[in-house]
């Protein structure tokens, strides 16, 4: 398994398929003309497969598709089928807003996708529309149901709470786990980029400690569950609940010491740390005819160069890219 210079085992590759999205969440994407990547700049399914083959050869085992919104890629099923056919790919998951899952969940499962994380910030249609700006609760909910019907389980919900938008939703969202065996994971807002979504994320931070206290006050005790060191979510269960309540706290309780991730942007850069700008271009090598050994060598260099952690505590984050351009 590849190790970085701090001894961390890095075996998890998160692959962004596009910078486009059919939502405009206030903490993630600005409104207006975003200058999306032109099609020829995106890695093709064959190029993505080549990176995955090279990654498996150097010891990567876990893969996830993300974006932007990965379901907007017209060739998504081909990408999934190519990746899951690579011997040694342990599991392929996808992070999505769920809106296109009613038509895609069954074919994705048939192509080999293991499961999905669906992003849902509120159970209140009006508040959700304020956060997402586009889309609707009904559309996301239908997507979650389709994923469950297609066996893309366990269903994990990614929830971002932003002060002034949806703090009151933490209790009903956590309460979902009483009846359903879903994982509801509350992610602290991370400021990326120098534009408005970064400011919303910075100013709207609600710490996991505050969310935990709100849940306990309304729903009773949360019992901590064992979790792997590399699992960024600290998992808990409400008394008698079927599902899991998780807290992902990159701002208030950073877990960089347990980071096991490398990211691949839609335009073919290894992005070394979500909250920094360091990148290594692999697309240029692929398009110059690099073989799998050469691609693996670039990936190992990217692993070796991973920074020790983010620098949010010092007021620094990415400047070149925003969340939708890296992939969360």
Q: Rule CB under 6 A: which residues touch ligand SAM? A: 21, 27-28, 66-67, 69, 95-97, 119, 158, 160, 187, 189-190, 192, 201, 323-324, 327-328
**Residue nearer to ligand SAM on the CB measure, 296 or 327:** 327
**Residue nearer to ligand SAM on the CB measure, 2 or 135:** 135
Alpha helices for 192-266 (secondary structure H)? 196-203, 208-219
| Closest-approach residue to ligand SAM (CB) | 328
User: Is residue 255 within 8 Å of 232, Cβ to Cβ?
Assistant: yes
Q: Report, in Å, the least distance between residue 168 CB and ligand SAM.
A: 18
E-strand stretches of 132-204:
156-160, 183-187
**Residue nearer to ligand SAM on the CB measure, 28 or 50:** 28
Placement of tokens 């309780």 in the chain:
253
* Phi-psi map region of 84: left, alpha, beta (phi>0 left; psi -120 to 50 alpha): alpha
**Residue nearer to ligand SAM on the CB measure, 52 or 192:** 192
**Residue nearer to ligand SAM on the CB measure, 131 or 299:** 131
Q: Report, in Å, the least distance between residue 228 CB and ligand SAM.
A: 20
What is the rounded distance in angstroms from the CA atom of residue 153 to the CA atom of residue 181? 9
Facing residues of 183 across strands? 156, 244
**Residue nearer to ligand SAM on the CB measure, 291 or 319:** 319
Read out DSSP for 265-276?
A: -TTSEEES-TTS
Q: Report, in Å, the least distance between residue 28 CB and ligand SAM.
A: 3
Q: Report, in Å, the least distance between residue 77 CB and ligand SAM.
A: 17
Q: Which of 41, 42, 63, 44 is nearest to 52 (CA)?
A: 63
Q: Report, in Å, the least distance between residue 182 CB and ligand SAM.
A: 14
Token pair in block for residue 199? 């400011």
**Residue nearer to ligand SAM on the CB measure, 45 or 327:** 327
* Phi-psi map region of 173: left, alpha, beta (phi>0 left; psi -120 to 50 alpha): alpha
Q: Report, in Å, the least distance between residue 207 CB and ligand SAM.
A: 13
Q: Could you tell me how many helices (H) and strands (E) the chain has, helices first? A: 10, 12
Q: Report, in Å, the least distance between residue 162 CB and ligand SAM.
A: 9
Q: How many CB atoms lie within 10 A of CB 293?
A: 10
Q: Which of 44, 65, 113, 112 is nearest to 286 (CA)?
A: 44
**Residue nearer to ligand SAM on the CB measure, 21 or 219:** 21
Sequence-distant (6+) residues with CB within 8 A of 26 are 130, 131, 133, 162, 165, 197, 200
Q: How many CB atoms lie within 10 A of CB 66?
A: 23
**Residue nearer to ligand SAM on the CB measure, 266 or 272:** 266
Q: Report, in Å, the least distance between residue 224 CB and ligand SAM.
A: 22
Q: Report, in Å, the least distance between residue 72 CB and ligand SAM.
A: 9
What is the rounded distance in angstroms from the CA atom of residue 72 to the CA atom of residue 206? 30
């Amino acid at each position: 398994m590849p190790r970085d210079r701090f001894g961390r085992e890095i075996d998890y590759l998160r692959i962004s398929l596009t910078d486009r999205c059919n939502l405009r969440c206030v903490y993630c994407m600005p409104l207006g003309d975003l200058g999306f990547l032109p099609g020829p700049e995106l890695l093709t399914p064959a190029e993505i497969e080549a990176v995955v083959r090279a990654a498996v050869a150097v010891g990567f085992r876990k893969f996830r598709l993300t974006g932007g919104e990965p379901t907007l890629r017209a060739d998504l099923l081909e990408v999934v089928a190519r990746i899951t056919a690579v011997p040694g790919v342990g599991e392929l998951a996808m992070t999505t807003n769920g809106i296109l899952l009613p038509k895609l969940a069954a074919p994705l499962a048939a192509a080999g996708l293991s499961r999905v994380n669906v992003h849902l910030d509120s159970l209140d249609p009006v508040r959700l529309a304020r956060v997402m700006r586009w889309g609707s609760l009904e559309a996301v909910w239908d997507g979650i149901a389709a994923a469950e019907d297609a066996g893309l389980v366990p269903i994990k919900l990614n929830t971002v709470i932003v002060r002034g938008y949806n703090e009151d939703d933490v209790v009903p969202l956590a309460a979902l786990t009483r009846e359903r065996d879903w994982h509801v994971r509350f992610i602290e807002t991370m400021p990326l980029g120098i534009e408005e979504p970064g400011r919303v994320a910075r100013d709207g931070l609600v710490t996991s400690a505050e969310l935990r206290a709100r849940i306990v006050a309304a729903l009773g005790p949360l019992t901590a569950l064992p979790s792997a060191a590399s699992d960024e979510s600290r998992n808990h269960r409400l008394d008698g609940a079927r599902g899991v309540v998780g807290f992902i706290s990159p701002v208030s309780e950073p877990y960089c010491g347990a980071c096991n991730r490398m990211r691949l942007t839609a335009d073919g850069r290894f992005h070394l740390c979500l909250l920094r700008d360091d990148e290594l271009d692999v697309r240029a090598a692929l398009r110059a005819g690099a073989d799998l050994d050469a691609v693996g060598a670039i990936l190992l260099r990217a692993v070796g160069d991973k920074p020790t952690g983010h620098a949010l505590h010092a007021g620094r984050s990415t400047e070149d890219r925003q969340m939708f351009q890296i992939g969360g």
